[in-house]
Amino acid sequence: MNERIKQFAELSKSYKTMIVDGQMQSVLQIDPERFAGMIIQECVDLIDTLNEAYDAPSTAGKFIKDHFGIE
């Protein structure tokens, strides 16, 4: 797996309270929405960087964020 993706997985972890073996416990899990948001933002940043380098309009990044509901 790509090192950047591993970083996102680690950064997106949070504790969830759940019942494990009949007992309430806090479990550290990857938050899928946060993880996906980080990947989407990274892609948008790359697109925006390319657009700036080639003096292209930067609407693609905004379109992608709008499509996925990322602010």
Annotate 39-59 with three-state secondary structure: HHHHHHHHHHHHHHHCCCCCH
Span 15-38, pLDDT tens digits: 999 898 999 999 999 999 999 999
Q: Is the pLDDT of residue 71 over 90?
A: no
pLDDT of 42: 95
Q: How far apart are CA 67 and CA 71, in angstroms?
A: 10
Confirm whether pTM is higher than 0.85: no
Tokens 């073996």 sit on residue: 21
